[in-house]
Structure 1
Amino acid sequence: MLTVKDLNLYYGSIHALKEINLEIGQGEIVTLIGANGAGKTSTLRTLSGLETPKSGEILFGDTPLKTLSAHKLPSLGIAHVPEGRRVFSSMTVMENLELGAYTRKDKANFKADYDFVFEKFPRLKERRKQLAGTLSGGEQQMLAIGRAMMIKPKLLLLDEPSMGLAPIVVQEIFNIIKQINEAGTTILLVEQNANLALSIANKAYVLETGRVVLEGNAKDLLKDEKVKEAYLG
C-alpha cells in the first residue's frame, strides 16, 4: 500500500532522516519505535506532506506523494492524527468531526460514518455539542482519531496516541485502534510506549538518529534482547 525508498529529510544543515525505507501492506498495523529525536514524527510529517524531503520516493499504491501538497492527501485516503491531538478547541465535537469530512463529496454516507465514530467512542456522542477545548486529554485524543476517520482513510497515520494519558485511557485507545484496523483501515503508528505498540502491530521498524536500524515481525522484536534492553525497560 505504501512504499518509502531512500528517503532523506533535512532541517537546514541537520540530516533528520537518512535513507529511510519502509513497506506497509494493506490491512497491516506497522509501528515505528525509537527514542525521542529518532525521527519518528519527522517520518510521519514527511509522508503526509508537511515536510518536503530532499530525495527519495514515497508511493501510495502507484501514486507518488513526494511532490503532492498536504491538503491533497485526504482525498487519496490518507489521514494524519498529529502528536498533541490538535483539535479545534473553540469548535464543538460535532464541528470537529464535520471538518474531518470536509473534502468528501458523498454527503449521503456521512450518517453511517458518524455512527461508526460514535460506536467506537460513545463519550464523543454524549459530548457532541460540547466545545472540544473543554474535553479531557483522552477525549480529545478520541476526537482527533474520530475526526481522521471521517475522511474514510485507507491509511491512518497516528503520532503518539498515548502521550499524556492515564494507563486505563491508553488501553481503551489502543483497543479502539485495533478495532479500526480490523474494520479495514491500514495503520502506521508512532508510539513512545514500545511495548504496547509492538503488542498490537504486525511489523515494526526501529529508528535511531534518523535511520532504520532494525525491522521485522513485531512479535519477534518484542522478544529481541537488544530491543528489550533499549526500549522495553
Structure 2
Amino acid sequence: MAMLEIKDLHVHYGVIEALKGISLEVNEGEIVALIGANGAGKTTMMQSISGIVKKSAGEINFLNESIMKANPKHIVEMGLTQVPEGRRIFTGMSVYENLMMGAFLRKDKDGIKHDYEKVCEQFPILKERMNQDASTLSGGEQQMLAMGRALMAKPKLLLLDEPSMGLAPILVKEIFNIIEEINKSGTTVLLVEQNAKMALSIAHRAYVLETGKVVMSGTGEELAKSSDVQKAYLGG
C-alpha cells in the first residue's frame, strides 16, 4: 500500500513553474530516492510534502489522507518528519535539548524515553556530547543530530534532504549505513540526494528529477545500471 502518494503535483514560485506535474509514491517499509541535478526541484518537492511550500495543483495523500492544504504541524503529528537540507540544528541549545525539540508534540513520556535511548544507541557519538552546545559539533555530528531529532518525533515516514551534503566520504558511508538501519527498524524513508551512487546503492526504488519533471523511475539497481543515469549522475 502506498504510504505517500503524489499525483500530478504543480508548484509555482511567481511565474516560474518549479514542479511540472510530478507523480510518485512511497510504499510502507521502502527507501525511495529522488536524484537529480541542482535546480531539478528536489528540495521544492520535499517542502511541498512537509507543508512548507504552497502547491498550485495536484494531490498529495499521506496514509490515505490529503495533506495538500495541511499545515506543517499537523503533518508532523500524522507521522511525517523532515530533516532539512543544511541540517538546521538549534545552536545555543545542547545536543539533548535539540533531541527533545524533536519530541515536542508528543505526550507519551515512556515512549519518548525509549526513543531517546534508541537514538543514543544509533548515534553513540551524540551520547558522549549530550550537554555540549550543538554548534560545537562537527558537520557529520550535526547531521546525526538532525536525524536523531527527527527520529524523536517517531515518524512513520522520514524525509531526508541531502543528508551527505558537505561531509567527508568516510562520514557519508556512515550516514548511509545509519539510514539503512533506521529503515530496517521500521521507518519508511524518502531521500533526496546529490550523491546518486550512494542513494541508489541503498534505495529500493528511485526517481530521477529533471527541471521539475520525473524523467525516469525504477529500482535502485535498475537506475544504477542505466547508461543514461550513469552518464548524467554517476560520472560513467
Deviation at 1:113, TM superposition (A): 0.5
How big is the shift at 1:62?
Answer: 1.3
Matched, 1:213 2:215: yes
SS of residue matched to 2:145: helix
2:75 paired residue number:
73
2:138 equivalent in structure 1: 136
Counterpart in 1 of 2:101?
99
TM-score normalised by the chain length of structure 2: 0.98
CA distance in 2: counterparts of 1:110 and 1:5, whole angstroms: 35
Q: Measure, in 2, the Cα distance between the counterparts of 1:15 and 1:173.
A: 33
Distance 2:67 2:74 in 1: 10
Distance (whole Å) between structure 2 residues aligned to residue 41 and residue 134 of structure 1? 27
Q: Which residue of 1 aligns with 2:61?
A: 59
Aligned to 2:177: 175
Runs of 4+ in 1 over 2 A off after TM superposition: none
**Separation in 1 of the partners of 2:111 and 2:33?**
31
Distance 2:122 2:136 in 1: 20
Partner secondary structure for residue 73 of structure 1: helix
% identity of equivalent residues: 60
Aligned to 2:40: 38
Aligned residue for 1:84? Answer: 86
Residues 125-164 of structure 1 correspond to what in structure 2 (within 5 A)?
125-164=127-166
Which residue, 6, 10, 14 being the options, matches 1:4?
6
**What SS class does the counterpart of residue 9 from structure 1 fall into?**
strand
Alpha-carbon distance, 1:110 to partner: 1.5
Determine helix, strand or coil for the equivalent of 2:183: helix
Letter of the structure 1 residue corresponding to residue 27 of structure 2: G
Letter in 1 for 2:203: A
- How far apart, CA to CA, are the structure 1 residues paired with 2:145 and 2:46? 20
Q: Distance in 2 between matches of 1:151 and 1:95?
A: 14
Instruction: Kindly provide the CA deviation profile for residues 120-179 of structure 1, in whole angstroms up to 9, marking residues without a partner as x.
Output: 100100000000011100000000000000000000000000000011111111000000
Match of 1:16 among 15, 18, 35: 18
Instruction: Please give the alpha-carbon distance, in whole angstroms, between the structure 2 residues aligned to 1:159 and 1:183.
Output: 20
Structure 2 unaligned spans of 5+: none
Alignment size in residue pairs: 233
CA distance in 1, matches of 2:81, 2:112: 17
Q: State whether residues 106 and 112 of structure 2, in contact with CA within 8 Å, keep that contact through their aligned partners in structure 1.
A: no
- Please say which of residues 106-115 and 91-100 is displaced more in the overlay: 106-115
Question: 2: CA distance between counterparts of 1:191 and 1:109?
Answer: 31
Instruction: Tell me, in whole angstroms, the C-alpha distance in 2 between the residues paired with 1:3 and 1:211.
Output: 16
Q: Could you tell me how far 1:106 is from its partner in structure 2?
A: 0.7
Displacement of 1:218 in angstroms is 1.0
